Amino acid sequence: MKKLRAAFALTAVLALTACGGGSPSGEEGGGGSPGAGGELTPVNVGVIPIVDVAPIYLGEKEGFFEEAGLDLELTQAQGGAAIVPAITSGQMDFGFSNVTSLIIARSKGLPMQMVASGSSTTGDENEDFAAVMVKPDSGIKEITDLEGKKIAVNTLNNISDSTISAAVEEAGGDPSSVDYVEMPFPDMRAALEQGNVDAIAAVEPFLTLARQDGAVSVFSNYAHPVEDLTVAVYFTSDEIAEQKPEVTEAFISAMKKSQAFAEENPDKVRAILPEYTQIDPAIIEELTLPKFAQEVNAESIQEIADISLEGGLIEEIPDMEALLPR
């Protein structure tokens, strides 16, 4: 039975972290077989209320996790930065995050590992769920036109600015000339309209909303410069994976079914969004959905690690074999 908690702030999760470890299921180790003795094994998964996590909600609704012997509990968080400490403290079993954040975390010694694919680029620079948007009269037409411009990103030194800089450099421009400004996604449209920034790195549903304002896309920084990019994944800690191998495998199996179901049923993805997001139902049909791949593209994540190193986000590339799904 689904149990959905209200969203909580980062400070609340950090408070949990201070309380120390422990298994979210309340069992020491928790490594028994899922569904053993007819009882479901509780698993707590940290998610973000965005389009990208629709598959896990659909999977719960379709019974994939119950079939795998798991009693799924979804806890909404503000972002991956709040989920990581909850997993390291043992308050959650699995979580959702973009791949750059996990590369940074692993490079800093946090024992995180990816277990299942989340959202991926559509591969179409002109039709993806993320894009660099500008005013139609901005004069910015090509990637190189972003040189020397001010671009809004939701988080500095992360997946958006690093991929944009990599694209600018690949196009022959100077990425160091780009001025990135950190601001929440909901604030970007007004900033663009008022001329406070020259461009915004938007994701759905803010991409569609910006387009309705008249903004146009320069390119998708998820579709380019990295090919077939795995943008976000589900992850856990080394400790949980080692202590609960069968639970971890059951979660991976259920997630693959959920991803495949979502990819094959985009109408059901759109239909479930109002159940866990605050996206205006009036624009749901216009959203560009991510690709919901069943497997993580390891080559794309290696490229993101290289971009992160070149951009100074990390001092050295972490052990990728330890970070990537086993």
d(CA 127, CA 137): 21
CATH number at residue 157: 3.40.190.10
In 3D space, the residue among 194, 158, 202, 139 whose CA is nearest the CA of residue 304 turns out to be 158
Inside any domain, residue 62: yes
Inside any domain, residue 125: no
> In sequence order, what E strands does 149-267 have?
150-153, 179-182, 199-203, 216-219, 232-237
Mean pLDDT lowest among 78-87, 149-158, 287-296:
78-87
Tens digit of each residue's pLDDT (9 = 90 or more) over 266-289: 999 999 999 999 999 999 999 999
Q: Please state, rounded to an integer, the average pLDDT across all residues of the chain.
A: 90
Residue 278: partners with Cβ closer than 8 Å, 6 or more residues away: 49
Report whether pLDDT(20) > 70.
Answer: no
| Tally of domains in the chain | 2
pLDDT at residue number 5: 37
List strands edge to edge, sheet with 216-219.
Answer: 179-182, 150-153, 199-203, 130-134, 216-219
Domain C-terminal end among 164, 185, 219: 219
List the domain range (segments joined by +) for residue 255.
3-120+229-323
Domain shared by 243 and 108, yes or no: yes
- Tell me what the mean pLDDT of segment 249-271 comes to: 98
- Tell me what the mean pLDDT of segment 103-123 comes to: 97
Report whether pLDDT(246) > 90.
Answer: yes
Domain shared by 248 and 113, yes or no: yes
Domain shared by 35 and 91, yes or no: yes
Percentage of the residues of the chain whose pLDDT score is greater than 70: 89
- Please, what is the angle between helix 245-264 and helix 266-276, to 10°? 120
Domain shared by 100 and 188, yes or no: no
pLDDT at residue number 80: 75
Domain shared by 9 and 101, yes or no: yes
| Whether 44 contacts 80, CB under 8 Å | no
Domain C-terminal end among 219, 239, 267: 219
Domain shared by 23 and 107, yes or no: yes
Tens digit of each residue's pLDDT (9 = 90 or more) over 155-181: 999 999 999 999 999 999 999 999 999
| Whether 114 contacts 163, CB under 8 Å | no
Inside any domain, residue 116: yes
Q: Does residue 208 sit in helix, strand or coil?
A: helix
Determine the residue type at 29: G
Domain C-terminal end among 195, 219, 243: 219
Domain shared by 11 and 113, yes or no: yes
Inside any domain, residue 224: no
pLDDT at residue number 34: 79
Q: Does residue 180 sit in helix, strand or coil?
A: strand
